[in-house]
Amino acid sequence: MNKLHEVAMRGDLAALQDLLLQDPQILHKPTSSPDGTPLHVSCLLGHTSFTKQLLTHNPELAKETDSRGSLPLHVACAKGHVEIVRALLAVDPEGSLRWDREGRTPLHLGAIKGRAEVLGDLIRAKPEAARVVTSQGESAFHLCVKSNRVEALKVVVGCVGRNDEFVGCRDKDGNTILHLAVARKQLELIKYLLSSTGIEVNAQNAKGFTALDVLSEGPRDLRDMEIKQLLQRAGASLIYQTSLGRDTIEAIPIAQPYVKQKSDTKPPVMKHKHKDWLGRKRSALIVVASLIATVAFQATLSPPGGFWQDDFTADPAKNGKEKSHHVGMAVMATSLPQAYGQFMIFNTLAFLSSLSIILLVVSGLPMKRRRWMWTQMVTMWIAITALTFTYFIAWIHMTPEDDRGVFNTVTRVSVFLWLCLMGLVFLGNVVRMVRWFSRKFGHLKVKEREASTVVEENEDNEL
């Protein structure tokens, strides 16, 4: 059989005739190849003449399956070899109703691959094949939509009938092909289904969702507006209106009477922008605070100079020139205790300030107002400034005294620029806070004046 498979792979008719002359029963012997019979191989590679010759000598080969439970017809349909499909159907039309081990018929494989001409031949040879579903409850319609095979779907719908009830059949989740097309934003398919089929636009799936509900529940897309308009023109309606769904619906402009808003009323867009601003600020703060906390923690574990690796007890007779130390004690703590104290004070301040920001953000407290955000930003300035002083202290005491001249110049310039930057940031936020307070209290005063005016008018009316 190895020779026969090699001949089938080449599609060599002359070699096939030689093998048949040597052994007329060679095509009737069982095969042990996982690829199936020579007919499977020939159908896979599209050798039309060779396939027809095999069927002439042994038509029963069309009913043999391979290790996946596939007939030669499954293979030919998946590959789209139209002439081979027709030859197989002429021998075994019932093969179009057979499932493979994955629960799919040849028609299903053709639908997945978008073999439009093959689908037409299959349905014409066996019309009931179009109504067979997979083991997952999916029809050929569902498979065409899932694979976005528009032309293949048109062929199947045309063969079954545009107004046939089976066009609106449901899968195991209760979804019609309109549900699937809307969920996948397949605009061309949606237009075709709404204009050329009698599918029910308000059919509900297992969750009770119509196609319009599926659109409102799905992720946002630039095509949502056009899809919604198409569905609404076809008479689609909403069953469920979730928050996401309402946002999607409100994205479509609807004619409404114009109402002039008062000067003290903020439009909804400003509210959304305010929330977005707070969200972006919180995200930035948590990232920076986490970074500062990591750096400060690492500075505590690795101070300038490192740690003593031995124990030493000072001799009092040396007038305190040498200081006692033990394993794990910071070298800087014994050699430069004052500088070490400054280093640890600023480092601890940076560490605790950053942890405070992280704690406030993740605490779940309702801190959605600007004043809370300003408080966190001030805490962040403290953390950054403290970390800066920590850096300069470490730099000073790690630099040899011979290089202090250049270092002092660089330090002075850096500190000056840093203070200028901090001053600008601080001044800008002070201005923002003053403006906010002026708007806030000015707004209250306007309300008080309006209220007093209303009271006076009421009193005048009573008189």
CATH of the domain at 100: 1.25.40.20
Sign of CA dihedral 390, 395, 398, 400: negative
Q: Is the pTM of this model over 0.85?
A: no
193 or 460, which is more confident?
Answer: 193
Q: Is residue 247 part of a domain?
A: no
Average pLDDT over residues 391-398: 78
| 298 and 350 Cβ atoms separated by less than 8 Å | no
3-state secondary structure 344-375: HHHHHHHHHHHHHHHHHHHCCCCCCCHHHHHH
Average pLDDT over residues 444-451: 58
- 151 and 13 in a common domain: yes
Please state which of the ranges 185-199, 213-227, 251-265 shows the lowest mean pLDDT: 251-265
355: closest CA among 282, 292, 418? 292
Please state, rounded to an integer, the average pLDDT across all residues of the chain.
Answer: 80
| 126 and 136 Cβ atoms separated by less than 8 Å | no
Q: Is residue 101 part of a domain?
A: yes
- 152 and 66 in a common domain: yes
Q: Is residue 415 part of a domain?
A: yes
Average pLDDT over residues 109-126: 94
Confidence of residue 193 (pLDDT cuts 50, 70, 90): very high
Please report, for residues 21, 311, 314, 344, the alpha-carbon distance to residue 326 in angstroms, rounded to integers and kept in the order given: 98, 4, 11, 19
Reply yes or no on whether the pLDDT at 440 is more than 90: no
Q: Among the three residues 396, 428, 444, which one is the final residue of a domain in this structure?
A: 396
Q: How many domains does the chain have?
A: 3
Q: Is residue 346 part of a domain?
A: yes
For position 391, what pLDDT does the model report?
83
For position 251, what pLDDT does the model report?
36
Confidence of residue 367 (pLDDT cuts 50, 70, 90): low
- 407 and 279 in a common domain: no
Average pLDDT over residues 338-360: 86
Q: Cβ contacts of residue 50 below 8 Å, gap of 6+? A: 8, 11, 12, 13, 16, 42
Cα dihedral angle (79, 80, 81, 82), rounded to 10 degrees? 160
| Residue 262: both structure tokens together | 């008062």
- 334 and 448 in a common domain: no
For position 120, what pLDDT does the model report?
94
Q: Is residue 248 part of a domain?
A: no
Q: Among the three residues 343, 370, 396, which one is the final residue of a domain in this structure?
A: 396
Confidence of residue 448 (pLDDT cuts 50, 70, 90): low
220 or 251, which is more confident?
Answer: 220
Domain that holds residue 345: 266-396
Q: Is residue 463 part of a domain?
A: no
- 409 and 362 in a common domain: no
Percentage of the chain with pLDDT > 90?
Answer: 31
Q: Is residue 196 part of a domain?
A: no
For position 304, what pLDDT does the model report?
83
- If phi > 0 it is left, if psi is from -120 to 50 it is alpha, else beta; for residue 312 that is beta
Please state which of the ranges 76-85, 186-195, 445-454 shows the lowest mean pLDDT: 445-454
CA–CA distance, 443 with 182 (Å, rounded to integer): 47
- 327 and 309 in a common domain: yes
Reply yes or no on whether the pLDDT at 204 is more than 70: yes
- 405 and 342 in a common domain: no
Percentage of the chain with pLDDT > 70?
Answer: 79
- 363 and 276 in a common domain: yes
- 307 and 435 in a common domain: no
- 143 and 23 in a common domain: yes
Reply yes or no on whether the pLDDT at 246 is more than 60: no
Q: Is residue 232 part of a domain?
A: no
Reply yes or no on whether the pLDDT at 377 is more than 80: no
Return the number of other C-beta atoms located less than 10 Å from residue 398's C-beta. Answer: 10
- 314 and 281 in a common domain: yes
- 390 and 404 in a common domain: no
Reply yes or no on whether the pLDDT at 49 is more than 70: yes
Q: Among the three residues 128, 160, 192, which one is the final residue of a domain in this structure?
A: 160
